[in-house]
Each structure stands twice: as C-alpha cells, then as structure tokens.
Amino acid sequence: MSTAYEQDFYTWSQEQAAFLRQGRLDLLDLENLAEEVESMGKSERREFVSRLAIIIGHLLKLQIQTDRTGVNERSWRSSVKTQRYRLARHLRENPGLKNPAILADVLELGWWDGRDLAIRETGIEETCFPATCPYTLEQVLDDAFWP
C-alpha cells in the first residue's frame, strides 16, 4: 500500500477515506495514515508560529523603525490586527495549542521568525533589535497592546 501513497497521494487519500467509511480497517495503510494525521497537527502548529511571526515582526517594526511613513505604519497596524483576529480564531478551533509547553515553543519560534522578518524588511542593523523577545504572549495577542 505504501507504493500508492508514494506514487499518487490524492488517490491514496481517497481510498483510505473510503476504507474508513466502510469500516475496512484491514485495508488501511496504518503507518502512512498515522503519519498524515500527525502531520495535520503539525500544520496547525506551524500556522500558529507563522501568524505570531507576522505580528511580532510588525510590532518590532513599529517599535524600532522611527523613519516610517504613515502608510507603512497603517499597513503594519492593519496586518497586526488581522493576524491577531485570525490567530484568536485559530486557537478557538485548536484549543490543544494552548498547552503551556506548546505556547512557550511557538513564542520562541515566532520571535525568531518575526525578528528576522523585521530585520529583512527594514534594512536596519540586526544589533538594533532586541536579542530576546521583549513581548509576552499575552501582549502579542492583546488587541490593545502596541509598543
């Protein structure tokens, strides 16, 4: 069965779904099916990190980049608001991501990705940016927080 998995993922996935619906557990490709289910969970976690990185990157730009136009600032604030809203919805749909160990890890990853984003997009020297995240997760997610 793994050959079908490797050669035609779409067909494999449709067959696995049909086998599940039919109760044909003996025909399931359990190892690859387990891997795909696990991958779905990892995808939700990656989305969390990605949204945090965008928020943190824009918060850093608002904090560090003093020579900005009003258009930039409005765009960054709008992006932060949008990502906060989408992240809140994502967490409502995936409450398991609120596990304290996961939260600490995603904040760390989001921090580094967001810092890198801000450095690349502003062109400001890396040493001008904090070496550790200056924001708590609560601040990053709080609609009223702005640096």
Nearest partner of 91 among 77, 75, 102, judged by Cα: 102
**Across 9-27, average pLDDT:** 94
pLDDT band at 2 (very low <50, low <70, confident <90, very high): low
Asked if residue 1 has pLDDT above 60, the reply is no
Q: Is residue 100 packed enough to be buried (19+ CB in 10 Å), middle (13-18) or exposed (0-12)?
A: exposed
Task: Report the pLDDT value the prediction gives residue 38, as an integer from 0 to 100.
Answer: 92
HSE-up (13 A, CA, CB side) for residue 69: 3
40-49 long-range contacts, CB within 8 A, separation 24+: 44/90, 44/94, 44/97, 45/97, 45/102, 45/106, 47/90, 48/87, 48/90, 48/91, 48/94, 48/97, 48/106, 48/110, 49/106, 49/109, 49/110, 49/113
pLDDT digit string (tens) for 109-137? 999 999 999 999 999 999 999 999 999 99
Share of the chain above pLDDT 70, in %: 99
Q: What is the pTM of this model?
A: 0.84
Do 126 and 96 contact (CB within 8 A), yes or no? no
Domain ranges (residues) in the chain? 43-141
Mean pLDDT over 38-57 rounds to 95
